[in-house]
Amino acid sequence: MTSQSSNVTVIGAGSWGSALAIHLAKAGHQVRLWAYEPELVQELNQSHTNSIYLPGFTFPESILACNNITEAIEGAEVVVMVVPSHVFRQVLVKASSFLMTDAVIVSCAKGIEADSGFTMCEVAEDALPKEFHRSLCCLSGPSFAKEVAASVPTAVTVASRSARNAKLVQDIFSTPLFRVYTSPDFIGVELGGAVKNPLAIAAGMVSGLGLGHNTLAALITRGLAEMTRLSIAKGGQMATLAGLAGLGDLVLTCTGDLSRNRTVGYRLGKGETIKEITSSMKMVAEGVINTKTVRALAREAGVEMPITESVYGVIYQDKSPQQALHELMTRTLKAEHE
């Protein structure tokens, strides 16, 4: 753990970006927080609250909120990207003109870009000049925003092709209440974070249908098998998916009431339509978009992912959760590790 203060910019003032800004400021860093909404910037700077995305928390007064991307990025040693996956490229390209050449970029967004099938670090490699590629890291793991903001003990993983930059991010983020492990496998870390989203929708449907712990345990276990198959097919490591960014995040988001994806699934299980659910939510449930992108990636890679296919059927093909469950349970019988 480091006692040295760094200049850190967090891009995105949703619940997760706000929680990380609070955490980093408490850790002693100089933090700027970029928000898309001018009225939110005003609230953050004047009241030190975020009533839209993270109500109930007072932000350290040292955090400076900005709406101007130039002001937010200028002089930042570490830039933490925490915007939804579908706008990640757009915001990163806008920010790239103002990045210092030695800045470290940390993706904390969990998703897959629809058009390219890229993870967020792959999007960054595609969008940024080559000199920034070694600076890319991703941070993922079981970490609800409200619990991180409340300083509940948490453990996550940071991955990078550069061991030096992974260690740098580990040192900057780590505190006695926020433990960071390093990994060289950012494909596995990022795919774990993306694939768990549609699986959490499935878990929510299990609860919404009033089913039991047997069903949920089976879903998590077989979901982990899907996640692992896809990750290995794309070059990830099996051990990564057995760790915090895989199994850890999957268990959290499939069982925790703070999970937006699980909430979407729960409401689907109770009979609501996806349009009714998404129109009533202030914050993006990444799993709705990720279900489509993960399914497309799996099909392109020739990887069988029946749970993800079932969630896709409910969200995009008007299948009922009951029908999707029946189809899953009556698939052709096979060996477990086939």
Q: What angle do CA 169, 174, 179 make, to 5 degrees?
A: 115
**196 catalytic, yes or no?**
yes
Q: What angle do CA 98, 91, 28 make, to 5 degrees?
A: 65
* Alpha-carbon gap, residue 108 to 79, rounded angstroms: 10
* Alpha-carbon gap, residue 119 to 253, rounded angstroms: 19
Same domain, residue pair 204 and 322? yes
Same domain, residue pair 78 and 131? yes
Q: Which of the following is catalytic: 94, 146, 167, 196? A: 196
CATH number at residue 63: 3.40.50.720
Same domain, residue pair 55 and 103? yes
pTM of the model: 0.94
pLDDT of residue 281: 83
Same domain, residue pair 140 and 231? no
Distance between start and end Cα atoms, the chain:
43
Domain coverage including residue 120: 7-184
In a domain, 268, yes or no: yes
CATH number at residue 239: 1.10.1040.10
Show which of 138, 159, 184 is a domain's final residue. Answer: 184
Show which of 184, 205, 238 is a domain's final residue. Answer: 184
Domains in the chain: how many in total?
Answer: 2
pLDDT of residue 338: 79
User: pLDDT tens digits, the chain, 338 residues: what are they?
Assistant: 445 899 999 999 999 999 999 999 999 999 999 999 999 999 999 999 999 999 999 999 999 999 999 999 999 999 999 999 989 999 999 999 899 989 999 999 999 999 999 999 999 999 999 989 989 999 999 999 999 999 999 999 999 999 999 999 999 999 999 999 999 999 999 999 999 999 999 999 999 999 999 999 999 999 999 999 999 999 999 999 999 999 999 999 999 999 999 999 999 999 999 999 999 987 777 889 899 999 999 999 999 999 999 999 999 999 999 999 999 999 999 999 87
* Alpha-carbon gap, residue 302 to 297, rounded angstroms: 9
pLDDT of residue 3: 52
Structure tokens at 179: 């433990």
* Alpha-carbon gap, residue 195 to 184, rounded angstroms: 19
In a domain, 202, yes or no: yes
